[in-house]
Amino acid sequence: EPEVTQTPSHQVTQMGQEVILRCVPISNHLYFYWYRQILGQKVEFLVSFYNNEISEKSEIFDDQFSVERPDGSNFTLKIRSTKLEDSAMYFCASSAGTGGETQYFGPGTRLLVL
């Protein structure tokens, strides 16, 4: 069964450093998403991406965040200058599109900002 994959599984960084979280969505899916979950809290939507542009973003997704689909397979989330409060589990998801709206989530990247 096709899966969304994410790398790395864990990342530790220093405050102020840039991090790039990588995702490989399910092949042939057209919609891509990033969510995050701070430890013990709800899963929160960050951004959705379609046709090489952002479809929707939340208030969390400020200028420090950016997303990119650099090639036909990868989907990345960049945090330019990490803060302590960016420590969370980051989940990538993808969905096929019209007629296939179910979002399939990856295993997540646990980001720890020190």
Partner 1 sequence: LAKTTQPISMDSYEGQEVNITCSHNNIATNDYITWYQQFPSQGPRFIIQGYKTKVTNEVASLFIPADRKSSTLSLPRVSLSDTAVYYCLVGVWAAGNKLTFGGGTRVLVKP
Rounded Cα distance between 111 and 80, Å, is 14
Contacting residue, 21, 25, 26, 33, with partner 1 by CB under 8 A: 33
Given the DSSP bridges, would you call strands 65-68 and 75-79 parallel, antiparallel or unpaired?
Answer: antiparallel
Residue closer to partner 1 (CB basis): 18 or 56: 56
Sign for the CA dihedral angle at 74, 75, 79, 80 comes to: positive
CB of 16 to partner 1, least distance (A): 27
Residue closer to partner 1 (CB basis): 41 or 81: 41
Q: Where are the alpha helices (DSSP H) in the chain?
A: none
Neighbouring C-alpha atoms within 13 Å toward the C-beta of 109: 26
Rounded Cα distance between 65 and 98, Å, is 27
CB of 53 to partner 1, least distance (A): 11
In the block, tokens 């969304």 appear at 4
Chain positions 41 to 60 lying near partner 1, rule: CB under 8 A, are 42-45, 48, 50, 55-56, 58
Interface mask (CB under 8 A) for partner 1, residues 75-94, using x and -? --------------x-x-x-
Which positions lie near partner 1, rule CB under 8 A?
4, 30-31, 33, 35, 42-45, 48, 50, 55-56, 58, 89, 91, 93, 95-98, 100-108, 110
